[in-house]
Every structure is written in C-alpha cells, then in structure tokens.
Amino acid sequence: MQILLVDDEKELVSTLAERLGFRGIQADWTTVPNEAVDLVSRNRYEIAVLDVKMPGMNGFELKQLLEKKAPDLKFIFMTGHGSEACYKKGCSETGREYYLVKPVEINQLIERLNEILSDDTCRGGKNYES
C-alpha cells in the first residue's frame, strides 16, 4: 500500500509515516499542500490522508486539486477541530467512517485504510496488519 500524508505538523506527519512504514505501508509525507499536488502528479498513491485545517489551503480544497491529478485517489481526513460544520463537511466528502479526530490511534487508521481498499482486496489485494 502506498499512501500520502499531508499535515502542517511536521513532527506528527513524519512520525506517523515512520510507524506506518514499520507496518509495511509506504507513506510519503509533506507539510505543504502545494507540494502534495506535486507528489500526486509524480507518484501513484492509493490513499491520501489529509489534515483539514492547514495554513493557505484546507484539506477539502486540497482534495479537489488532488482529484484532478488522480481521479482514483481515495481520501481520509484527520482533524483536531471536530466542529459540527467541519464534521458534516468531512462526512459529506468521504463518509463518516473516514473522518478521524486527532489524536488518531494507528490501528484505527490502518483499519480505515484497509476498509477503503476492500474493493481491491476482493480483487486479490492485500490487507495490512494493524
């Protein structure tokens, strides 16, 4: 599984990427939304995990840009906010189960990643241990 993590908190996103790596999930990361667009243009990711609130561009706006570059890309949102409006917007973009509130347990994240790829699993894909 190859995923992209985007969050403006560098220590959070780099540590999460390393821990996912220990579990066999290749996770690239960036703290800059525009850099994410560039990464998606150059690499093939299955899922992008996006922070909702980032300076300059929020996660919902970034999703739209990434979808133009990679129409098959799937999304999970991570947020520290949890406001009603943000929650509704996040759920409408990805579905309630893919809107995670920080701090996120890595096993819960991996479960969500596996669920998103479950269609692929039916076609012979691989599930990752959480």
Contact residues for another protein, defined by CB under 8 A = 9, 11-12, 15-16, 18-19, 22, 53-56, 58, 80-83, 85, 101-106
> Element (H or E) spanning 78, and its range?
strand 74-79
In the complex, what is the shortest distance from the CB of residue 103 to another protein, in angstroms, rounded to a whole number?
4
Q: CA–CA separation, 2 vs 44, rounded Å?
A: 8
Partners of residue 58 on adjacent β-strands: none
In the complex, what is the shortest distance from the CB of residue 16 to another protein, in angstroms, rounded to a whole number?
5
CA-atom Rg of the chain in angstroms: 14
Yes or no: say if 64 and 92 are a contact pair by the CB < 8 Å rule.
no
In the complex, what is the shortest distance from the CB of residue 4 to another protein, in angstroms, rounded to a whole number?
17
Give whichever of 70 and 102 is closer to another protein, judged by the CB atom.
Answer: 102
In the complex, what is the shortest distance from the CB of residue 13 to another protein, in angstroms, rounded to a whole number?
9
Give whichever of 22 and 123 is closer to another protein, judged by the CB atom.
Answer: 22
Give whichever of 43 and 107 is closer to another protein, judged by the CB atom.
Answer: 107
Q: How many CB atoms lie within 10 A of CB 96?
A: 10
Give whichever of 30 and 58 is closer to another protein, judged by the CB atom.
Answer: 58
Q: How far is CA 41 from the centre of its chain?
A: 16
